[in-house]
Structure 1
Amino acid sequence: MIQVLAALAPIIALIALGHQMRSKRWVGDEFWAPAEWATFHLFLPALLVASLARARLEGLPVGTIFAVETGVVLVMAAVTGLAAKGLARPPWSLDGPAFTSVFQCVIRPNTYVALALGAGLWGRQGVALVAVCTAAVIPLVNLLSTLAMLHWARKEGRLGWRDAVLPVVTNPLILSCALGAAINVSGFGLPPVAASILDILGGASLPLALLSIGAGIRLEALRRPGPAVWLSIIAKMIALPLLAFAALKFAGLSGVALAACGIYAALPASPASYVTARRMGGDAALVATILSAQTIAGALILPLWLLALGVG
């Protein structure tokens, strides 16, 4: 219990600090967009490249992790997609753009929180496992989210391959995972100077990412959370991890690998959901509300999952 609280306390504290910094205007609003851009395009990719390049992948069940993590996401995406017509009726009354908000927030994991939690609980091994999960899940959820937006949110135009594929192949997280894995498999390793630069850049990723998450929380939007918000929390942070833990256990994983890869499925949704909704015609306001609700709920749900696994 003490280990869990010790790992979660800095994460919660930085998220709360980020919310305070924005709500009290300690820094101007113009600070956050460049900070988020730098985190997503520079700092976090540096951390992922360095982590995967150094990871001892030969000792990790990489194939099993890929199969389970992608499998449970596909199952949850299929179930959610099949529920679209039912969710269009009362009491849900979700139109196409609103449904895509729920869809995205049910399958997209917040890699920032995952890396911070993995590092706090299991050190380099935890970061390596989270990086493997990221390499498996992020390309898939980007593709599925883009297809969902094009199908349910956009009313005009055709589904072009560029619309579906380009956001996936140009995603910095995906590219950094591919580069780190390639360096690892090559056996050459990182040159000392490059390793030092990546370590310095990567060191800025998690603090800035967590502050940005906190800055994005809108407490005023949570005064009357609608049924879609509760549905997203139950599906993303209870049903999906329950499915993942069962599949991982069935596949033979145990110990740190089971805990780290299982908790990856229980994470609150990624802020990328908001960006995608805003750019592709989704309900960005609903996404913002869901992200805030899931982030706050995570402070209670994630410790319960870890305690259920016997961590700490």
Structure 2
Amino acid sequence: MAGALVSALAAVFGLIALGHLLRRHEVVPPLFWDGAERLTYYFALPALLVVRLAEAPLREMPLLPVVAILAGGVAIAGALLFLARPLLEPDGPGFTSALQGTFRPNTYVGLATAAALFGAEGVTLAAISLAVLVPLVNLLAVAALIRYGRRTGQRAPGFWGSLGRNPLVLACLVGVTLSLLPLNLPTPAAAFLDGLGQAALPLGLMAVGAGLYWGQIGRHPRLLIAASAIKLLLLPAGVGAVALAAGLDSTTGAVLVLFAGVPASASCYILARQLGGDAPLMASILTVQTIAAVATLPLVVGGFLAVSGGG
């Protein structure tokens, strides 16, 4: 399994590096990346989630422990940063960006690595993880930005409506409904969605690389280090320990550790810009975490598989 993990991560981060090089050397027009991100986020990734969740035997899976472990991990990660706040001495906007960097997972890195390691089962478990995490982390991030962002005390106009229109949330709801009810996707629809979904991960990973930003790294080193240490090391270690204690099988536990330990999502930057966070700091956290995850993901996922007997 160690060799498979290295190969999976090499493929994932190779695509991220390719996207960065293509953007840096303008091999394709800059506008391409905006279109690629929109195509992936609104169409290809939701198609992938619907198909995988619709085919998942959810009634036979340990859903309650999975939900509890993921939600508990997010809460503990945020609590750790709150406890460290007096030592970090951040301003409000900087604190919100560091907070997002402790618990929001990069969907593309998690899904692609789970698929490369565990095939269809890994994608299904990853989709279930997203069904839990996407609404939760968005809610917590917006609440923190409203409280501590530059526009403190503002309302988040249309937040619940926006969450209800989030394509990933809608895709998860559709997929879960199809799985739990005696309903099947028509074969042509399943084939169409499966074909569309296959474009999600390579395009998404290259878009992650295109978004890497080196401009102001080192501006708030304590916040950057704290957020990254919690997200890349402490959170996956804690999730792995609880997964072992709960008796989850090695594949399920490894996917939970993976989603706990992937770098933060690029959507953190968009939210920071929209609601008064520290957007340059957020960009630095995303870049550092993405690069550091090359070393930390093999450590946390490989360590869990070795301890659980899945390696």
User: Would the aligned equivalents of 1:54 and 1:184 in 2 still touch at CA under 8 Å?
Assistant: yes
The alpha carbon displacement at 1:215 in A equals: 0.5
The residue that corresponds to 1:294 in the other structure is: 289
The alpha carbon displacement at 1:113 in A equals: 0.7
Q: Give per-residue Cα distances to partners, 1:45-82, cap 9 Å, x unaligned.
A: 11111110011223321111011111111122233235
Q: Give per-residue Cα distances to partners, 1:81-101, cap 9 Å, x unaligned.
A: 35445432xxxxx21111111
Distance 1:167 1:154, change over 3 A: farther
SS in 2 for 1:265: helix
Please identify, of 252-261 and 212-221, the stretch whose mean Cα deviation from structure 2 is larger: 212-221
The residue that corresponds to 2:134 in the other structure is: 138
The alpha carbon displacement at 1:219 in A equals: 3.7
Which residue, out of 273, 280, 287, partners 2:275? Answer: 280
Please identify, of 260-269 and 223-232, the stretch whose mean Cα deviation from structure 2 is larger: 223-232
Q: Percent identity?
A: 39
Give 5+ residue unaligned stretches, structure 2: none
The residue that corresponds to 1:260 in the other structure is: 255
Please identify, of 256-265 and 12-21, the stretch whose mean Cα deviation from structure 2 is larger: 256-265
User: Would the aligned equivalents of 2:216 and 2:281 in 1 still touch at CA under 8 Å?
Assistant: no
The residue that corresponds to 2:233 in the other structure is: 238
Distance 1:167 1:148, change over 3 A: farther
Where has structure 1 moved over 6 Å in runs of 4 or more? none
Structure 1 residues 212-223: aligned runs within 5 Å: 212-222=207-217
Whole-Å separation in 2 of the counterparts to 1:223 and 1:69: 30
The code of the aligned residue for 2:275 comes to M
The residue that corresponds to 2:46 in the other structure is: 45
The residue that corresponds to 1:182 in the other structure is: 177
The residue that corresponds to 1:9 in the other structure is: 10
Q: CA RMSD in A?
A: 1.7
Structure 1 residues 185-204: aligned runs within 5 Å: 185-204=180-199
Whole-Å separation in 2 of the counterparts to 1:280 and 1:222: 21
The alpha carbon displacement at 1:218 in A equals: 2.2
Q: Give per-residue Cα distances to partners, 1:99-129, cap 9 Å, x unaligned.
A: 1110001010111111101100000100011
The code of the aligned residue for 2:142 comes to T
The residue that corresponds to 1:125 in the other structure is: 121
Whole-Å separation in 1 of the counterparts to 2:100 and 2:154: 21
If the length of structure 1 is used for normalisation, what is the TM-score?
A: 0.93
Q: Number of matched residues? A: 306
